[in-house]
């Protein structure tokens, strides 16, 4: 189910050239902001939770997930070079699975690791906040990468639709309509984080069971369906 | 302009034996429409293109969807105001764009790369410059087109609110003043967002990457700034809040309009910039607009050569 050559090519496509710059700039910004906040405000648990929850988990993880998830397959389909990959004797679900692993790894390295570092800078992992948000970032990395990888195979406008989901659905509708939070990767991962930290600073609107079921279901279904899409891929011309 | 060719070949001098045949090439002697016409065409095509007009159905979906998403809340507010006979609209004209900033950012992110990245990717920019237009014309036309498209996007819901407010028989002078202030604010917002979006998009020929880069700049800066402002508010260091707001496009517009356009600030604690700080905000906004124009000019000075 894992093909090292496909993985190597995907890593190169994801981290080569300017893509690595934007992927690297976001975590650096988060760490810089945490340094500034720590220097100005001192160690404070509520502040740390606000910063990690508002900036790291709500904005940074989805954006990096979109870049890594759609970037793992989108450009190849876009410029048509995916036919060279598909014509090799590699099973298409294997291709998707390998690309998913790579996208998950990249999202985790560029979002969960900086979250952990920022958490330690902000309050030295007081009340397990740093670890809780890191777990949330790790869990949501998997779901986001699978979801956005699927979008990459379905639509040429995958990046936009991914961002619409992450920003409009989770942020805007999630804050206006409480029901929308039940269908939000961010809330599911917060439920897992809540279980890990056990405190009151990390809370979620979704129960742990629901969250786990949804997380697993979304990841598995998205990966399976992406594999099916790739089996019957038609290359469309430029619009 | 005649279609049929006059028989010039017949007039060849009899001594010229080397000519085999003359297929009658002629130079164009009709009217030439010139640089201004080319610039206007580029502007109108880009403006239509940013709503998907004249393009495939698929590329109409997203801009039209975002346009509808922008206008529907305004229509709902108007309906509520008319039905409940309220004394004022539930949301200020100036506040509307700030609340809907995610939609506006998405629109910029999707349409700025659409406008310039594809020209770079398919190497059509040198073709533009083989016409009478020059770098400045291309940049101005594209900038003006995206700014106009954004203005349409942001001003249309305000118009809905204004018409609705008049239908609900709210105070005419009061509403007109608010509407005018809202229009000035969204005009500034359109120029600023279009500039930032185009500068980022003009760097990359990849559309998807351009979208991600624009949205990252817009939302991460907004997320970072509002988080820092909330922390400053919690720490009671309210003096720092306006200064932090200088670092993201949305809060810049918010600051300008709460200092000079009578808006209530969306900053935490409702602490907008004072008049002195407001001048800094205006200067930064104008500076950013000028800088993005300058950067675009520099970017296209030597493109595709």
Q: For residues A78 and A127, is the Cβ–Cβ distance under 8 A?
A: no
Percentage of the residues of chain A whose pLDDT score is greater than 90 = 22
Q: B212 and A63: CB-CB below 8 Å?
A: yes
Q: Which residues contact A67 (CB under 8 A, 6 or more apart)?
A: A19, A22, A23, A159, B209, B212
Question: What φ, ψ does residue B248 adopt, rounded to 5°?
Answer: -145, 145
Residue B90 class from Cβ within 10 Å (0-12 exposed, 13-18 middle, 19+ buried)? middle
Of the two residues B162 and A80, the one the predictor is more confident about is: B162
Asked whether residue B148 is domain-assigned, the answer is yes
Q: Which residues contact B52 (CB under 8 A, 6 or more apart)?
A: B59, B60, B61, B62, B63, B64
User: Which parts of chain B register pLDDT below 50?
Assistant: 1-2, 9, 305
Q: B215 and A163: CB-CB below 8 Å?
A: yes
**Rounded to whole angstroms, how far apart are CA atoms B74 and B89?**
10
- Residue A237: pLDDT band with limits 50, 70, 90: low
- pLDDT of amino acid B1: 45
Q: For residues B207 and B125, is the Cβ–Cβ distance under 8 A?
A: no
**Total number of domains constituting chain B:** 1
Query: What is residue A166's DSSP assignment?
Result: I
Q: What average pLDDT is seen over chain B?
A: 86
- pLDDT of amino acid B149: 96
Nearest Cα neighbor of B207 from A69, A100, A71 is A71
Other Cβ atoms closer than 10 A to B52: 19
Question: What φ, ψ does residue B92 adopt, rounded to 5°?
Answer: -65, 155
Asked whether residue B84 is domain-assigned, the answer is yes
pLDDT digits (tens, 9 = 90+) for A1-34: 888 898 998 888 888 766 777 788 888 988 988 8
Percentages helix, strand, coil for chain B (3-state, rounded to 5) are: 70, 0, 30
Q: Which domain holds residue B193?
A: 34-220
Asked whether residue A209 is domain-assigned, the answer is yes
- pLDDT of amino acid B8: 52
Q: Which domain holds residue A171?
A: 4-231
**Total number of domains constituting chain A:** 1
Whether the ipTM is more than 0.95: the answer is: no
Specify the range with the lowest mean pLDDT, choosing from A23-32, A176-185, A211-220: A176-185
- pLDDT of amino acid B305: 46
Q: B-side interface with A, Cβ within 8 Å?
A: 55-56, 58-59, 62, 69, 102-103, 105-106, 109-110, 203-204, 206-209, 211-213, 215-216, 219-220, 223-224, 226-228, 230-231, 234-235, 237
Asked whether residue A154 is domain-assigned, the answer is yes
Is the model's pLDDT at A197 over the cut of 80? Answer: no
Asked whether residue A85 is domain-assigned, the answer is yes
Token couple for A125: 């992992």
Asked whether residue A38 is domain-assigned, the answer is yes
**Rounded to whole angstroms, how far apart are CA atoms A225 and A218?**
10
Asked whether residue B190 is domain-assigned, the answer is yes
Asked whether residue A236 is domain-assigned, the answer is no
Contacts of B231 in chain A (CB under 8 A): 37, 41, 47, 50-51
**Rounded to whole angstroms, how far apart are CA atoms A65 and B101?**
21
pTM of this prediction? 0.83
Other Cβ atoms closer than 10 A to B83: 9
Contacts of A60 in chain B (CB under 8 A): 220, 223
Nearest Cα neighbor of B24 from B44, B7, B38, B11 is B7
Asked whether residue A120 is domain-assigned, the answer is yes
pLDDT digits (tens, 9 = 90+) for A29-76: 889 888 888 887 777 788 888 888 888 888 889 889 988 898 888 888
Asked whether residue B279 is domain-assigned, the answer is no
């Amino acid at each position: 189910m894992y093909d090292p050559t496909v993985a190597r090519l995907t890593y190169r496509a994801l981290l080569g050239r300017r893509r690595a710059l934007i992927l690297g700039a976001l975590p650096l910004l988060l760490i810089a902001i945490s340094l500034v906040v720590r220097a100005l405000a001192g160690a404070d648990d509520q502040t740390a939770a606000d910063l990690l929850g508002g900036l790291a988990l709500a904005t940074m993880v989805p954006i990096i997930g979109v870049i890594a998830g759609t970037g793992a397959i989108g450009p190849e389909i876009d410029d048509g070079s995916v036919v060279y990959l598909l014509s090799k004797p590699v099973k298409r679900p294997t291709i998707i699975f390998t690309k998913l692993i790579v996208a998950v790894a990249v999202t985790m390295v560029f979002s969960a690791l900086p979250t952990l570092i920022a958490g330690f800078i902000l309050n030295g992992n007081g009340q397990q906040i740093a670890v809780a948000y890191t777990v949330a970032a790790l869990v949501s990395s998997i779901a986001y990468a699978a979801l956005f990888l699927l979008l990459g195979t379905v639509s040429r406008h995958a990046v936009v639709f991914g961002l619409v989901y992450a920003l409009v659905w989770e942020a805007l509708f999630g804050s206006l309509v409480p029901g929308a939070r039940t269908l939000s990767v961010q809330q599911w991962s917060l439920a897992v984080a809540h279980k890990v930290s056990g405190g009151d600073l990390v809370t979620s609107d979704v129960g742990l069971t629901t969250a786990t079921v949804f997380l697993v279901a979304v990841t598995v279904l998205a990966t399976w369906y992406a594999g099916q899409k790739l089996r019957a891929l038609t290359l469309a011309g430029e619009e | 302009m005649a279609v049929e060719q006059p028989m010039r070949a017949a007039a060849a001098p009899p001594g010229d034996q080397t000519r085999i045949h003359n297929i009658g090439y002629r130079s164009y002697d009709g009217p030439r429409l010139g640089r201004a016409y080319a610039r206007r065409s580029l502007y109108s095509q880009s403006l239509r293109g940013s709503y998907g007009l004249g393009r495939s159905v698929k590329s109409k979906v997203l801009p039209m969807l975002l346009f509808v998403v922008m206008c529907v809340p305004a229509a709902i507010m108007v309906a509520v105001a008319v039905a409940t006979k309220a004394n004022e609209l539930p949301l200020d004209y100036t506040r509307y764009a700030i609340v809907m900033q995610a939609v506006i950012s998405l629109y910029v992110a999707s349409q700025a790369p659409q406008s310039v990245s594809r020209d770079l990717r398919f190497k059509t920019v040198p073709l533009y410059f083989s016409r009478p237009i020059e770098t400045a014309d291309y940049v101005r036309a594209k900038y003006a087109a995206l700014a106009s498209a954004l203005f349409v996007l942001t001003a249309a819901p305000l118009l809905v609110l204004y018409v609705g407010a008049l239908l609900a028989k709210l105070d005419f002078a009061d509403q007109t003043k608010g509407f005018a202030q809202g229009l000035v604010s969204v005009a500034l917002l359109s120029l600023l967002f279009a500039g930032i979006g185009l500068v980022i998009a003009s760097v990359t020929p990849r559309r998807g990457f351009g979208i991600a880069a624009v949205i990252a700049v817009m939302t991460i800066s907004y997320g970072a700034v509002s988080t820092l402002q909330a922390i400053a508010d919690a720490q009671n260091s309210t003096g720092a809040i306006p200064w932090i707001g200088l670092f993201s496009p949305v809060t810049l517009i918010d600051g300008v309009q709460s200092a000079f356009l009578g808006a209530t600030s969306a900053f935490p604690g409702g602490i907008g910039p004072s008049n002195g700080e407001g001048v800094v905000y205006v200067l930064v906004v104008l500076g950013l607009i000028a800088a993005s124009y300058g950067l675009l000019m520099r970017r296209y000075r030597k493109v595709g050569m």
